[in-house]
Amino acid sequence: MAYTASELLAVTSSRLLADHKIVFAGVGTPLLASALARATHAPNLTIVVEGGVIGLEAQPGRLPISTNEMRAGRRAVMLPSITEIFLYAQRGFFDYGFLGGAQIDPYGNINTSVIGPAERPRVRLPGSGGACDIISHCREILIVTTHERRRFVERVDFVTSPGYLTGGEARAQAGLLFGALTWVVTDLALMRFHPETRRMQVDALQAGVEVQQVRDNTGFDLEVPPVPARLSPPAENELRILRQLDPDRLFLGPIG
């Protein structure tokens, strides 16, 4: 069955979510991936939304388009304030955090603020929202984005959300003692961070993708294993459920 890059991102990231865990998910791909995981291998996954929802149960065809939309509260376990949500994050209650970004560097630092010099930017982006808190406090961070050279840069124009900073022990030395970046999911590869240098490296390739294709679309050197593992393509059942969740393709985008 054919699939789009957006569907591939959602399916690949959903497979990384384990049962009986708590995921702090934004709208779009993170929420789709979380809802897909609940409908397949992780029925006891708890979904948290920034606007003040714990235990979201997504209704197919009616996914919230904003973290503050009340349909996000459907059959929720709790509806606390946004302040309480981030207090729970600071206390270490959330296993996963999902993030995207306009730029990402080899150490997982994310830019969602400006493209170009901060004093005279070429493009102004939405900013942090809750992303800085999420990357600082959730136990594991999953970064999900399309794989483009303009996104994967040697140095981000602005550090909106701190990853491993300059690598090594820099994150801990800066006072970020909790949480870790674990996976970067793209439509070309699945990547993780070296346990000592904290630099991004390829873990596995998406089906049909070659190493040179990944290198050509990355603006920095990536360590690649001699024989990279291969990810399984989305299964028909995964795609069927995903398309039922978003039949109007508000988040999945057009086919073709």
Q: Indicate the SS3 state at residue 192.
A: strand
Tell me which of 7, 50, 140, 238 is the catalytic residue.
Answer: 50
231 to each of 12, 91, 202, how far by Cα in Å? Answer: 8, 34, 12
Which pLDDT score is estimated for 250?
84
Question: Domain spanning 5-245 has what CATH number?
Answer: 3.40.1080.10
End-to-end CA distance of the chain: 13
Considering the entire predicted model, what is its pTM? 0.93
92's tokens:
């270490």
Q: How far apart are CA 97 and CA 34, in angstroms?
A: 11
Tell me whether residue 50 is one of the annotated catalytic residues.
Answer: yes
Residue 127 pLDDT class (50, 70, 90 cuts): confident
Higher pLDDT: 46 or 70? It is 46
Residue 256 pLDDT class (50, 70, 90 cuts): low
Residue 254 clears pLDDT 80, i.e. is over it: no
Q: Indicate the SS3 state at residue 65.
A: coil
Q: How far apart are CA 192 and CA 204, in angstroms?
A: 9
Residue 94 clears pLDDT 60, i.e. is over it: yes
Higher pLDDT: 226 or 256? It is 226
What letter represents residue 190's amino acid?
Answer: L
pLDDT tens digits along 47-77: 999 889 999 888 898 888 887 788 888 888 9
CA 218 to chain CA centroid, nearest Å = 18
According to DSSP, residue 170 is labeled: H
